[in-house]
Amino acid sequence: MKHTWMRAVGIAIAVGIAALLGGCWDNRDIDHRSLPVVMGVSLSKDKYEVVLQIPETSSKGVNLRILKQKGRTINQAVDKISERMESSVDLLHLKVILVEKGYAQQGLTDSIASFMRSRDISPKTIVAICDEKLDPFFDYVKKSMTPRGTTLYDCFEKNAGWNPQMSLTRIWEVYRSIHSYTRDVAIPIIKSGRNGTIDYLGSAIIKNGRMVDQITPEETLLFNSFNGHSAQGKIEVMDKASVMILRSSMRHRSKIVQGTPYLYVQITVKVSIVETKGSVTSQSINQELEKILMKRFSGMLRKSQTREADILGLGQYFRNKIPRTQLRVWRESYLPKLRMDFRIKSIIQNDGYTKLS
Amino acid sequence: MNQQIQKLRDQFSENDDFFMLQDSFLGTPVVLLGLKSLIDVVPMKLSLQTYHAAAIESHITLDAFKKVLGEADEAVGAHEIYGSILNGKLFIYFEADDSFVIMDPIPRALNRSIETPINENVMQGSQSAFTEDIATNVGLVRKQLQSDHLRVHTHTIGTEEAKDVALVYYEGRADMDFIRRIERQFAQNKNKTIENLQQFSKEILGFPTWSMVSKFNQTELPQEAAHSLRKGRVLLFVDRLPLALVTPGMLWDAFCLDSDRNFPLPLMLFLRTVRVLGALATLILPGLYVALVSVNPEVLRIEMALSIAQTRAGVPYPAIIEIIFMFVVIELTIEASFRLPKTIGPTITMVGGIILGQAAVQAKLVSNLLIIILAATTIANSTIIGLQQSLALRISKYVVVVLASMFGVLGILEGMLLICGYLGSLTAYGIPFVGFPNAKSEANRG
């Protein structure tokens, strides 16, 4: 009997402690939180301007609210927005961070570090660059994307509107590139769309958190397939035909001879023919395809070498060949000297449902 | 008249169903005593006359005739006589030599016949169910399990109020230590009165009272009972209880029925998986709702988050209050549908379930999603076997809900851990509740 009493008292104490110290009164229900999906950030005259795109739910559907504030830090600006709203702003569901081009060119290092540090912004958030002022862009967003809350995000979502020629870079990848000696990233550049939702202009080459150059969507496709992102289902246009890349695989060998890095890369692309113009043979398509891919790739490599930004991550293949003290200067001393033997082999896996005449 | 008869008459004087008839056997006057409510008097007399006529024809002595009628034990005390009359026996007193015979007369039909189970549904299995009569129940088990290894021990427990308890086990498969332990408990507590299973479990077998899960797994089905016997469990029958108490009860009893094995193996596995999923869904779903809505909305996909926020727009209470409120309504509905006659049960279910739920949503008291969760939980709750287990499950989900409201998704984990720990701590005489009935060790027992 006494034992039972002791146990009952013990349980009561445990429950009481859990209830009193749990801190559960700070929990806010989901309908009292504002869940911004897109955050725009720009920097002018040492002040951040933050724009939040918040889907507001009502019984009728979703409305978009665009709220702007300026602040010394991004957090201050977000807090100011939160102050002025009836529900609290919760960045947990932030999906896309849109950075104004000017700010990206100045360098994103601080912001990316603080996004990584903050507990509520997920490191998986996609980073994109906006090639116009944020105000007109978000005005356009409000005007054209109102019925659904997540349209802009869907453009980047792999199982929704993402295309293989779009680069897809998360905050953690940018953060990694800032601190890595041998790898840089490409960030998609977008603009309010004339036809369609948004215009995709290509990707920005980000070196140590700063935008240094830009590559075209076609080059981005190659960049994606080089980095192992599925390039499947992509249509590659040529003079005579367009083909769909079914799968691509890559083999590489690297060596260092007297301080000069040599890299041999062979990419095998398996394609399917989608459309042809005039009379073509599979041989001519193969040749054409190899030529085009070769040209694009060398163009991208040249850009990467002149800008000393290793978006292809070529330095990764030399990490075990260069001492760490030297790896620090990979971008400046080795990358420009890199000799690359690049080969593309294309295989037409099928001609579609009809034979190639 | 004998003193003993006088005493018996005094004892039964307040009972109008007590009868005392004068008769004579082979020229000797006798007195017949019994209870009219337990003995069918007219057929009883007819059968006595048949016996009597046969005895006259074959010219047997009075002593031999006594032996034909029943046991003639001189040593039986007054208390036993009293008990046997209460038990429905006929007491025949021979005035000439002051001796008596206790006879098994034709009883009144106070037992129902063997019927189909009421509280359990059988899919493709034996349809007969246990009844109130303990002998019938043991007989049903014997029919189901024809083996010379089956052992039945009957005990009468209680002095003031007697109750028959039968212990049935499969010799060679059951754990003999366990059986000896039960027998010892019966012997120790022979004089205690049992009115219900709570008392039976606490007073007689010495199991703890504050246990969420019963030590007995109850079944109405002889097939299931026989199966547990083969698995080395022990059956306890209590007279007037149309159930077999399978002890020790085990966790897997809630998921596995023997009649599942009448299906092909893949179908059986599917059925059992569904039951396990049902139990998990009952425990997790309500907690998950609370956790995702109020503590960890970041776990949801944004589309989902927005649509949940939309269904909750305008709901005044926090998720925990909302869900507890609706659960109370559901519990009331379930309890009411047990209490109500079968004819209006469905009406209440409809009013409670559909109309109340819909109205609560429209009145913006609760969110749409909650109603879905609630319905799913209530349905999933009933997938597991046994009313008691499902009730225990129904209660344990509140632990998860409350913890989820405090600690979110982590709280669900904590709740599950708590429940698993609790189940793991349960034992019956050293046999763990979460153990598997292991065929290998069964072969070594006994």
How many degrees, rounded to 5, is the angle at CA B19 between CA B18 and CA B22?
160
Q: Is the pLDDT of residue A93 over 70?
A: yes
pLDDT per residue, tens digit, chain B (446 aa), is 577 788 888 888 888 888 888 888 888 888 888 888 888 888 888 888 888 888 888 888 888 888 887 776 666 677 778 888 888 888 888 887 778 888 888 888 888 888 888 888 887 788 889 998 899 999 999 999 998 999 999 998 888 888 889 999 998 888 888 899 999 999 998 888 888 888 888 888 888 888 888 888 889 999 889 988 988 889 999 988 898 999 888 888 889 888 888 899 999 999 999 999 999 999 999 999 999 988 888 888 888 888 888 888 778 888 888 899 889 988 988 888 888 888 887 887 777 777 887 888 888 888 888 889 998 999 999 899 888 889 999 999 999 999 999 888 999 999 999 999 999 999 888 888 888 765 445 444 44
* Residue A264: C-alpha distances to residues A57, A255, A260, A306 (Å): 54, 9, 13, 20
The alpha carbon of residue B313 is apart from the nearest alpha carbon of chain A, in Å, by: 6
pLDDT score of B277: 95
* Beta carbons of A226 and A241 less than 8 angstroms apart: no
Q: 3-class DSSP state for residue B184?
A: helix
pLDDT score of A1: 62
* Beta carbons of A99 and A41 less than 8 angstroms apart: yes
pLDDT score of B280: 95
Of B210, B302, B403, the CB nearest to A153: B302
Contact A22 B406 (CB under 8 A): yes
Q: What is the mean pLDDT of residues A134-150?
A: 77
pLDDT score of B444: 47
Query: Closest residue of A to B406, CA-based?
Result: A24
Q: Is the pLDDT of residue A225 over 50?
A: yes
Residue B168 pairs in a beta bridge with: B152, B235
For chain A, say whether B417 makes contact (Cβ under 8 Å).
no
Residue A38 pairs in a beta bridge with: A53, A96
Tokens standing for A78? 């977000």
Q: What is the mean pLDDT of residues A57-80?
A: 82
pLDDT digit string (tens) for B165-217? 999 999 888 888 889 999 999 999 888 888 888 888 888 888 888 888 888 88
The alpha carbon of residue B283 is apart from the nearest alpha carbon of chain A, in Å, by: 19
The full DSSP string for A235-261 is EEE-SSEEEEEEEEEEEEEEEEETTEE
Residue B35 CB contacts under 8 Å (≥ 6 apart), including other chains: B12, B15, B17, B18, B19, B85, B86, B88
Residues 60-79 of A with CB under 8 A from B: 61-62
What residues of B are in contact with residue A150 (Cβ under 8 Å)?
A: 302-303, 306
Residue ranges, comma separated, of all CATH 3.30.300.210 domains in chain A are 229-357
Q: CB-side exposure of B158: number of CA atoms within 13 Å?
A: 16
pLDDT score of A75: 87
Tokens standing for B65? 């005739």
Domain ranges for chain B, please list them: 3-103, 134-248, 264-428
What ipTM does this complex have?
0.77
pLDDT digit string (tens) for A171-223? 998 999 888 888 888 888 988 877 777 888 888 888 888 888 888 888 888 88
pLDDT score of B235: 92
Q: What is the mean pLDDT of residues A323-346?
A: 86
% of chain A surpassing 70 pLDDT: 94
Q: What are phi and psi of A202, to 5 degrees?
A: 125, -160
The alpha carbon of residue A3 is apart from the nearest alpha carbon of chain B, in Å, by: 12
Q: How far apart are CA A211 and CA A105, in angstroms?
A: 5
* Residue B162: C-alpha distances to residues A112, B109, B156, B191, B238 (Å): 81, 20, 6, 9, 11
For chain B, say whether A57 makes contact (Cβ under 8 Å).
yes
Highest CATH level, class, for A229-357: alpha beta
Average pLDDT, chain A: 83
- For an interface test with B, which of A1, A5, A9, A27 has the most B Cβ atoms less than 10 Å from its Cβ? A27
For chain B, say whether A159 makes contact (Cβ under 8 Å).
no
% of chain A surpassing 90 pLDDT: 3
Q: What is the mean pLDDT of residues A138-145?
A: 79
What residues of B are in contact with residue A23 (Cβ under 8 Å)?
A: 406
Q: Which helix or strand (DSSP H or E) is residue B248 part of?
A: none
Q: How far apart are CA A276 and CA A239, in angstroms?
A: 9
